[in-house]
Chain A
Amino acid sequence: MPGLNTSLLTAVHALMAQQGAMDATTNNIANANTPGYSRQVPVFSEVPPTCQGSLIFGNGVALERFQSVRDELLDFRIQEETSQQGNADAQATATQQIQPLFTSTGQDIGSQMSAFFNSISKLSADPANMSLRTQMITAGQNLAQSFHTAVAQLSQIRQGLNGSVVQDVNNINQLAQQIASLNTQIVALQADGQDGGTIKDQQNELIQQLSQLTSVSVIQTQDGISLTTGNGTALVVGSSIFPLQTSIGSDGLQHVLAQGQDVTACLQVGSIGGALAVRDQVIPQILNQLDTLASGLTTAFNAAHQQGTDLSGNSGTDFFTPLNSIAGAAAQINVALTDPAAIAAGSDGSSGSNGNLAQLLAVQTTPLPSGQTPTDSYSNVVFQVGSIAAEAQSESDAAAVSLTQLTDQRSALSGVSINEESVNLIRYQQAFEAAARVITTIDQLNQVALNMGVTNGGY
């Protein structure tokens, strides 16, 4: 037979359990706006009953643990999508910086190229005019300058991305360090059969931040989670980390090393992947096209210029400084002529002849060795820059939408609802009050029992 004391004990357990549940509720409410926090539910269980013959007596409730509500698969999808978004965002930001260089402003290569050929057309109506000749040289210099500006700004953007790679690597290492130290704590908790709980939340949040920088594979092990990155080299194993390193390669750019191995080419997602893609693919591709254009233009124009005769009847020389190679042509294109009289406008050696200007003008509409006319080449560059930027932007938008959906799903599962917690609070409060009432009642019963058979108050 259970006695009053047993009941008292059951009631005290109930008080403790309800109080613990209220603690969980309080903690949930407190963390309603904490990023990455998963709501915790108290897990109650019946205390094993006592059997006495045919009677089975319940022994009340025990608060076993607090369980964080989360879906690991969803977390994994969020990490993946965060990596995608990090990549697209980095590319979108960088290409947004490139775009203005190729927007028709009057200072861009296309406008300057058009202005240069127009200065030749203008000269053809008055070929001996010195001021028109000077204008043509100035227009040529402006064209060269517009190439230089584009190259300089692209290089600047490239240097900026180079710096961001180093910064990203530092952030990755810092996050890896934090994740590794949380591993130790989680392992200790799990050894006690406890849920990793809020520490796990913190770790997940850190992994998500890490995913934004680069993609990591998460492997559950006995020592907590292991993280691998790039081509599969370990970043975090248990409580130890293998930090990424950067070193300047033979190309003058920062390379990322994992345990001494160059993994730059393997980093394709996350913001570091985005920065590397623009730095190592997009910008070199644009530079290469500008180089090809500048080199083709120089060669074709010089060849045409040499066919003519200048104001003094001498054969034409190089209008642009001849270039040694295609690589770097856009940075090196320059007008060689300084004397307006040396422009080889004529075809017959006389001062007023404009016979060669038609040949110079024809360069604008004749395909260069690349197979495209100068104008077509340039408009092609504009198209490519535009479509790369547009693609990065729309990928970023798409990733944002799908990330919002995933976060919604996670929030639906793990998010703290103030309404729900309020209801729970009332529930636990009522249960607590009831248990307290039980204790009062038992106390009264104990008084009654103690006073049994005693007259005059027992004294």
Chain B
Amino acid sequence: MRVNPNMVPDVLAAIARTQGAQSQALQEMSTGKRVNVPSDDPAAASALVQNHTRSDTVDQYTQNGNTILQMMQTADSALSSVVSEVSQAISLGVQGANGTLSDTDRQALAQQVAGTLSNVVSQANLSYAGIYVFAGTASTTVPFTASSLSPSGYQYNGNSNVNSVAIGDGFEISVNVPGDQLFQHPGADLLGSLQQLVTALQDGSTSAIGTATTQLRAALDYLSQQRVFYGNISAQINAQETFLQNETLNLKSQENSLVGVDLTTAATDFAQAQTASQATMAAAARVMQQTLLDYLR
């Protein structure tokens, strides 16, 4: 059988092949990716779209959690100062119910409690980044404004609606407690009770002071219960954050197994391709030089 005398095309094809393998290995090493265009592995490229979308979503859940957390902490610290102020007002009320006090003393107490009331109102009108935290979803409306119509002297302008934010798939958390529920709940009307206490202190009736104080205590208890909501949310967000971090890690490792390259393998591939390329060229150089003419003299 006659052998193909023209080795050049074969040699060139072989060199092109080994160089192709080399450049593939080099690209994998330099990008750290096994899949650089969809045709490298269509299924992996398609799964990568899902993976990226998912990790974007998870990132956003984490960011949302952080945004809410800051708002929750602001709201919680406002309520915390309300609780301590109102506690003080209660002790003032207890003091005022003492029959030995003079009217002048009670007037002084009334003034202090009135001060507490206006402090509480200012906390209830707390705005965080331009948003009134205790106005329900009417977050651009000042929640409590002075009103002669209302028995407490303040009317609620917000609404009773609650916003929910997703911090996980199907994991939506309510992010606010409407102000009327916190400060003007029927039967536990904090602002009303404070106003009542002020009036009672001004009037000097110890029994009315006592009643007002008891009502104020009930309202404070209710507020404290409601405040737990903010603490709970913070705890939930923190727990979810850990979960999301794990998911991010999982997604990263999934991405890596989908399109990432094992550096050791890539380096080995590259070395092999290089060796093959050198061997091909060395062999070609030797074979192509020789003809019979070299020996015919």
- State which of A350, A352, A418 has its C-beta within 8 Å of the C-beta of B292: A418
Chain A residues within an 8 Å CB radius of B47: 379
Q: Is the CB of A361 within 8 A of B9?
A: no
B158-173 contact mask (Cβ, 8 Å, vs A): 1 or 0: 0101011110000010
Q: When each residue 90-132 of chain A gets 1 if its CB lies under 8 Å from chain B and 0 otherwise, what string results?
A: 0000011001101110000011011101100110111111000
> What sequence of 0s and 1s flags, for each residue 41-81 of chain B, a beta carbon within 8 Å of any chain A beta carbon?
11101111110110011011101100110000000000000
* Chain A proximity mask over B7-42: 1 for CB below 8 Å, otherwise 0: 011100100000000000000000000001111111
Which residues of chain A are within 8 angstroms of B39 by Cβ–Cβ distance? 95-96, 99, 385-387, 389-390, 393
The range of chain A's interface size is 35 or more
| Least CB distance, A286 to chain B, in whole angstroms | 12
Bound CA–CA A390/B45 (angstroms): 12
Contact with A along B127-147 (1 / 0, CB 8 A): 001111001111111000000
User: Is B163's CB under 8 angstroms from A127's CB?
Assistant: yes
Tell whether B287 is near chain A: CB-to-CB under 8 Å: no
Residue of B nearest to A92 (CB): B39
Residue of A nearest to B137 (CB): A353
Looking at B38, B47, B63, the one whose CB has the most chain A CB atoms below 10 A away is B38
Known A352-B139, A382-B38, A389-B39: A408·B4 in contact at CB below 8 Å:
yes
State whether B42 touches A386 (Cβ < 8 A): yes
| Cβ–Cβ contact B56 & A353, under 8 A | no
Given A95-B39, A113-B53, is A412 in contact with B163 using a C-beta cutoff of 8 Å? no
| CB pair A110 B49 closer than 8 Å | yes
| Contacts of A295-350 to chain B: CB distance below 8 A | 346, 348, 350
CB distance from A200 to the nearest CB of B (A): 19
A104: chain B residues at CB < 8 Å are 45, 48-49, 52
Q: In this assembly, does B1 line the interface, its C-beta being within 8 Å of a C-beta of chain A? A: yes
Other-chain contact of B138, A117, A350, A387 (Cβ < 8 Å): A350
Instruction: For residue A427, give the distance in angstroms from its CB to the closest CB of chain B.
Output: 12
Per-residue contact bits, chain B 241-279, to A (CB 8 Å; 1 contact, 0 not): 000000000000000000000000000000000000000
Contact of A111 with B52 at beta-carbon distance under 8 Å, contacts A128-B139, A407-B9 already known: yes
Given contacts A127-B163, A389-B37, A389-B39, are A412 and B60 in contact (CB under 8 A)? no
Q: Across the interface, do A361 and B166 meet the contact criterion of CB distance under 8 Å? A: yes
Known: A350-B137, A412-B4. A122 touches B64 (CB 8 A): yes
- Asked whether A378 is an interface residue with its Cβ less than 8 Å from the other chain, the reply is yes
Contact of B163 among A121, A355, A415 (CB under 8 A): A355
Q: Does A417 count as interface, using CB distance less than 8 angstroms?
A: yes
Docked-complex contact A128 and B159, CB < 8 angstroms: no
Contact B38 A103 (CB under 8 A): yes
C-alpha spacing A361/B3, complex, angstroms = 69
User: Do residues B64 and A382 form an inter-chain contact, with CB atoms below 8 A?
Assistant: no
Closest residue on chain B to residue A102 by CB atoms: B38
A192 vs chain B, min Cβ distance (A): 29
Is A167 part of the binding interface, using a Cβ–Cβ cutoff of 8 Å? Answer: no
Alpha-carbon distance between A74 and B59 when the two chains are bound, in angstroms:
62
The answer to whether B60 and A118 touch across the interface, beta carbons within 8 angstroms, is yes
Of the residues B43, B159, B165, contact of A350 by C-beta under 8 Å: B159
Bound-state CA distance A104–B293 (Å) is: 58
Q: Nearest chain A CB to B239's CB is how many angstroms away?
A: 18
Kindly list chain B residues whose C-beta atoms are within 8 Å of the C-beta of A350: 136-139, 141, 159, 161
Is A5 in the interface zone, CB < 8 Å from B?
Answer: no
Say whether A419 faces chain B, with CB atoms less than 8 Å apart: yes
- CB neighbours (8 Å) of B64 from chain A are 121-122, 124-125
B291 and A383: CB pair below 8 A? no
Beyond A114-B57, A128-B140, A351-B139, whether A422 also contacts B45 by CB under 8 A is no
Quick check: A117 and B46 within 8 Å, CB to CB?
no
Contacts of B63 in A (CB 8 A): 122, 125
Contact of B38 with A416 in the complex, beta carbons under 8 Å: no
B186: Cβ under 8 A from any A Cβ: no
Question: Quick check: A358 and B136 within 8 Å, CB to CB?
Answer: no
A423 touches B138 (CB 8 A): no
In the bound complex, do residue A419 and residue B56 qualify as a contact, i.e. CB atoms below 8 Å apart? no
Q: At the interface, yes or no: B296 with Cβ under 8 Å from chain A?
A: yes
* B141 contact set on A, CB distance < 8 A: 350-351
Contacting pair B49 A382 (CB below 8 A): yes
Q: Is the CB of A378 within 8 A of B164?
A: no
A386 touches B139 (CB 8 A): no
Contact, CB under 8 Å: A386 / B37: yes
Cβ–Cβ contact A125 & B42, under 8 A: no
- Indicate if the CB atoms of A422 and B38 lie closer than 8 Å: no
Q: A385–B37 Cα gap in the complex (Å)?
A: 10
A203 at the interface (CB under 8 A from B): no
Contacts of B46 in A (CB 8 A): 379-380, 382-383, 386
B140 touches A110 (CB 8 A): no
Complex partner residue of B131 from A111, A114, A352, CB under 8 angstroms: A352
Contact indicator A352/B140 (Cβ below 8 Å)? yes
Is A288 interfacial (CB 8 A cutoff)? no
A7 within 8 A of B: no
Residues of chain B contacted by A409 (CB below 8 angstroms): 4
Asked if A413 is an interface residue, CB under 8 A from chain B, the answer is yes
Chain A contacts of B4 at CB under 8 A? 408-409, 411-412, 415
Could you list 7 A-B pairs, sorted by A, with CB under 8 Å?
A115-B56, A375-B50, A383-B38, A386-B39, A389-B37, A390-B39, A418-B293
Q: Known A-B contacts: A99-B38, A114-B53, A415-B6. Give 14 more (CB < 8 A).
A: A33-B6, A103-B37, A118-B56, A350-B139, A351-B140, A352-B131, A353-B137, A353-B161, A383-B42, A386-B39, A386-B45, A390-B42, A419-B291, A419-B292
